[in-house]
A and B are shown apart, each in its own frame.
Chain A
């Protein structure tokens, strides 16, 4: 498998088929001298920002930490739950309960859901 071609930037779909963001980052880790392995994928604005410019990423990470949301952004999904399926990536979680949809939930409750006809 080619990690960039077959996994990075792909659509994330939860186990019920709901879209939950894209693979914004892939994390490799290794013990000294050992073979590197993929430990997980990341979703979120902090990971995206780091790809645009390291300083932007660092700044956004600080901002998120100060707001006490470092656990939610970036949201890291362990590799054990990830299955690349061709042009998409399926994740064995319930999207609605994850931080990947935190913004979506907040907007639904506080903005869009309050407009008549929503």
Chain B
């Protein structure tokens, strides 16, 4: 019984982990510009991350080591530091986009400009981590995250031609704006396959003291969580295709996102968009902050746990404090949050080779996963993601230039 509750909770939590400002924005842009044509990217990203998350959880459950632990241990200090620097740079961008997302949601509801909310949101994020335990964060945010189901309800209420949506599951070449099309495809993949999510998931498994008896639960949580997350992302895409495409809204500013659900829910629409965006981004901001702090602490072998008092692990606490401060500073002084979001998603895709290649080795390493090494299918998926990652890494920068805006 306890396991079933934990599984349900885990699924909800990982939906929360999957869905954030990046996946919502990129899906909305895809729908607004290309109708249902980019649904395949959402599905592909979801499928890939499902496998990688399952592997992260499996490694953690069997070895009680996280992915960053194992990367430092097998690949050494230099590789770890390189990965840390790259991931930290990109994650800070993503974090500030998430903080920006919470602020934009507050702007939708109050009309007060998003920049004014930045300090308040940053302090709130920090306070939740400072005072909260891991399970408070996990369960609190995930319960709130259920509000994102409104996108699925919205998509249903608008009666799309489901056959056309399904046709989007097969990649096709665009009939216009090819560079833009591929840039959004890359951004969607970058928003789905995020190393931070996998690192966080493995740290969570260690925090929750998983062992080998959790392997089945892990499978259910990874598949269910990432599956539902993708369905919600796809719903955003569908709604945007139905609402924005006919009106020629291109989603180049967050303000344009507000009426996304108005056709489906009337005057509640804006409030629902704000709630969904705010909650999803808050959850993601917490997750990225913790993921980065975990990664630093694990790589250097410090004590780390969200369940300890800050005093018991001063270096870990200082790290997440600094991370939140930097993220807030960036959005406070920095660029348009939507541009920041989309660019950081594409950049995430460019960092993937460094983060994913180790999976190939670690998940076949009996010192870590014992007899639960990857099967053929899992290895094939990792190989596919590695190949995809190299392609993405190469095409991201040119696409950013030609298709970025």
Contact = CB atoms under 8 A, between A and B. Distances in A.
Q: Give yes or no for direct A-B contact (beta carbon below 8 Å).
A: yes
A117 B130 contact: yes
A3 to B, nearest CB: 13
Nearest to B303: A19
Contacts of A52: 77-78, 81
A53 to B, nearest CB: 10
A107 B318 contact: yes
A64 to B, nearest CB: 17
B151 interface: no
A118 B303 CA distance: 15
A112 B314 contact: yes
Interface in B272-324: 299-304, 309-311, 313-315, 317-318
Interface of A: 8-12, 18-22, 24, 48, 51-52, 86-87, 103-105, 107-108, 111-113, 115, 117-118
A112 B78 contact: no
Contacts of A21: 300-302
Top 7 nearest A-B pairs (CB, nearest first) are A22-B301, A107-B314, A112-B314, A108-B314, A21-B301, A118-B311, A118-B310
A112 B65 contact: no
A117 B123 CA distance: 14
B309 A118 contact: yes
Interface stretch (B68-76, B105-113, B394-402): B68-76
A87 B76 contact: no
B334 to A, nearest CB: 27
A111 B313 CA distance: 12
Contact of A12 (B72, B74, B301): B301
Interface of B: 63, 65, 69, 72-74, 76-78, 81, 130-131, 299-304, 309-311, 313-315, 317-318, 367-368
Given A11-B65, A87-B63, A113-B314, 7 more contacts: A12-B301, A19-B301, A21-B300, A104-B315, A111-B318, A112-B314, A118-B310
Nearest to A86: B367
29 contacts: A8-B76, A9-B73, A9-B74, A11-B73, A19-B302, A21-B300, A22-B72, A24-B77, A51-B77, A51-B78, A52-B77, A52-B78, A52-B81, A86-B367, A87-B367, A103-B315, A104-B303, A104-B314, A105-B314, A107-B315, A108-B311, A108-B314, A112-B310, A112-B318, A113-B314, A117-B131, A118-B309, A118-B311, A118-B317
Contact of A11 (B130, B131, B301, B310): B301
A20 B63 contact: no
B204 to A, nearest CB: 18
Contacts of B304: 19
A4 to B, nearest CB: 8
A11 B309 contact: no
Nearest to A53: B78
Contacts of A112: 310-311, 314, 317-318
A48 B130 CA distance: 30
A105 B313 CA distance: 9
Contact of B368 (A87, A104, A117): A87
A28 B173 CA distance: 60
Contact of B77 (A9, A11, A20, A113): A9
A4 B314 CA distance: 30
Contacts of B309: 118
A44 B77 CA distance: 12
A91 B299 CA distance: 18
B131 A87 contact: no
A112 B302 CA distance: 15
